[in-house]
Homo-oligomer: A and B are copies of this chain.
Amino acid sequence: MSAASDIVPVGLSEGRTRVVIERITPAVDDGRFPIKRVLGDTVEVEADCLADGHEVVACALLWRQGGATDWQRTTMQPLGNDRWRAAFAVTELGTWEYTVCAWVDPFLSWRSDFARRVDADDVRIAALSGARLIDEAAQRAGRHGDGRLLRAWSAELGAAAGSTEVAQLHRIGLDDARAAAAQRHPDLRHAMTHPQALAVTVERVRARFSSWYEFFPRSAAAQPGRHGTFADCEAWLPYVQRMGFDVIYFPPIHPIGRTRRKGRNNTLDPRPDDVGSPWAIGAAEGGHEAILSDLGTLADFKRLILRAAEHDIEIALDIAFQCSPDHPWVQEHPQWFRKRADGSIQYAENPPKKYQDIYPFDFESAEWREMWEALVGVFEHWIRQGVRIFRVDNPHTKAFAFWEWAIARVRASHPDVIFLSEAFTRPKVMHRLAKVGFSQSYTYFTWRNTKPELSAYFTALSQGPGREYFRPNLWPNTPDILPAALQYGGRAVFMSRVALAATLGANYGIYGPAFELLEHRALRSGGEEYLDSEKFELRAWQRDSAQSLADFIGVLNRARRDNPALQGDAGLRFLAIDNEQLIAYAKVSDDRSNIVVCIVNLDPHHTQSGWVEIDPGAFGLDPGQTYQMHELITGAHFLWHGARNFVSLDPQRCPAHVMQLRARLLRENDFDYFL
């Protein structure tokens, strides 16, 4: 690779540009949006490069870090059928760019013809042509190094052209080592550089691989009934660390509105001591940049961030852009909200339902510029306090253009900030939010339970166009959603759902302790709201319950940490298994050195068994080979053989196998399954 600032784009105004470049991949919406990678990843770029006629085309991948003016250059290799490939590594956070440059190469064309010439006169004349082309390359190379070498070669070939010795001329003219020197200085006068620079957003590894634990700090007190504080949360850190989570995410921590405050279980007649919903943001004490005094001070919060870091845990905040009627902005900036015909401010609603404790922002406000500045200021405020991960509440009810602008602005100075989109809405809206910049996205996993549902959905996510920009984050539950399966399936379903989340998704999370303590009581039959939801009251959790899944979750998170295959989403492939209640899939690491096979019994009531099929060759195994499956939950070792093996899972013990494939004879260069 070398600097390539000498390659300038050539458009159709120059008729001598004969090469064309088509279908550069990867590209999101034809390059309208960046692809996503994390630090240390390799970006593999392909393109169709072709020209008229039979001459030899050459092409180079051009790439640079955002802000650099010079391109770096890597020669692309032909894949056949006019397709070419090269790769570059992204070694810094932020934006990178790439494009492709191609040209009809006179030297390589000459060389290809020269090797096939047999007539002596013909070879002599061609040797003279070659000497001229090599001399031109020498001039491009300069006075020293390659230039000197090429000048000597040109002179030697030109002089030899007087001879009739075809073999001798071929020997001189086809010298591989000196040809490589000539190729380092190609004739780019008629080169085409694709006019579009495609972008890559490079984030830190946690954007691709993270384990989230959500809990309400106000329920963190050791004494039932007392309002929890950030100081109480410090005592939770060893517990969360033992479970293996690396992100703790808090619902909004701001002052809570009093006007039309909701009571327990989402009632409209609160008692005086009801704490209200943290999503009704803002009171006289402050709004999105203030802290609810019951939780502690800003100093307490910053200390918690530091203490969490000592446990390898980051604190993520929930950013919910909406206001309680008491939010200071309602008075200060009434233009940021819609008015009803009676002059009152429009509350959130979905007729006939009304959410009168919440005012949405009006993204068609005439003062949208001031509002955008204020909203992005909320992120900037918490970044200044040390927060680097934000879970964004309902981003799909705010303008896409705002998110694109706001995320770019934050990343320009803080490329380490991660944004999780909590958009449970229509697929194209969720994808658009991922395209405009969200690092991770909530998914429909929460409601996908059967084998056909799960395999169709995760095949699309891992292999469809979204794989370049949509990083799924899988949640078996949230404070808003207690899915029916958890209400009725018992402990086995809690186990299978968290095992699925932790292995199907490189990013996943649970809302705890409700999850690990098997909270399954719904407010209403047929609904998904929790009974006695923490959204409206404090809860006291028995974290030491014998039923707790904390240890099981800890084992899953350890398997994730130890196996690169579970730290990415692209290497997922479903495996055939002859039982509709069993789902089987393999995950393979980018470098293919790590393979994990998961099998989950989706039936919480009965033992299910079946024959799972793998393609031994696809996993680098000899067809008749015996290999070891190391069960990472129980520590058991199974010996498997060939393509079909028997499994049986009793949901009363454990409904999932998470198995690392171990074989001595992995043939690294012989994988074709995942191409």
- Which residues of chain B are within 8 angstroms of A81 by Cβ–Cβ distance? 426-428
Assess the B401–A129 pair: CB atoms within 8 A: no
Q: Residues of B contacting A48 with CB < 8 Å?
A: 428
CA distance A554 to B54 in the complex (A): 40
Most chain B beta-carbon neighbours within 10 Å: one of A12, A114, A401, A405: A401
Interface residue A119 (Cβ < 8 Å from any Cβ of B)? yes
Nearest residue (CB) in B for A399 is B18
Among all A-B residue pairs, the 3 with the closest Cβ atoms: A128-B341, A116-B351, A30-B30
Query: Which of A145-153, A362-370, A534-542, A652-660 interfaces with chain B?
Result: A362-370
Assembled-state Cα–Cα distance A426/B80 (Å)? 10
With A52-B363, A81-B427, A351-B117 known as contacts, the answer to whether A15 contacts B341 (CB < 8 A) is no
The reply to whether the CB of A179 lies closer than 8 angstroms to some CB of chain B is no
B402 engages A20 (CB within 8 Å): no
Interface string of A396-414 (1 = CB under 8 A from B): 1111111011000000000
Chain B residue at minimum C-beta to C-beta distance from A12 = B401
Q: In the assembly, how many copies of this chain are there? A: 2
With an 8 A cutoff between CB atoms, is A374 at the interface? no
Residues of B within 8 A of A369 (CB): 15
A136 CB → nearest B CB, Å: 13
Q: Please measure, in the bound complex, the distance between the C-alpha atom of A404 and the C-alpha atom of B364, giving whole angstroms.
A: 44
Contact A432 B22 (CB under 8 A): yes
Q: Which residue of B lies closest to A432 (CB)?
A: B20
In angstroms, Cα B18 to Cα A113, docked, is: 58
Per-residue B-contact encoding for A326-363, CB less than 8 Å = 1, 0 else: 00000000000000111000000111100000000001
Beyond A48-B428, A128-B341: 12 further Cβ-contacts under 8 Å? A15-B405, A20-B400, A22-B428, A50-B426, A50-B429, A53-B396, A54-B350, A82-B426, A114-B351, A125-B340, A125-B341, A127-B341
Enumerate chain B residues within 8 angstroms of A114, measured Cβ to Cβ.
351
A115 shortest CB reach to chain B, Å: 8
Binding site for B on A (CB under 8 A): 12, 15-18, 20, 22-23, 29-30, 48, 50-54, 81-82, 104, 113-114, 116-119, 122, 125-129, 132, 190, 340-342, 349-352, 363-365, 368-369, 372, 396-402, 404-405, 426-429, 432
Residues in B with CB closer than 8 Å to A104 are: 364
CB pair B15–A428 under 8 Å, yes or no, is no
**What is the bound-complex CA distance between A456 and B341, given in angstroms?**
63
Tell me whether B54 and A397 are in contact (CB under 8 A).
Answer: yes
Q: Known contacts A397-B53, A428-B22; is A15 also within 8 Å of B125 by CB?
A: no
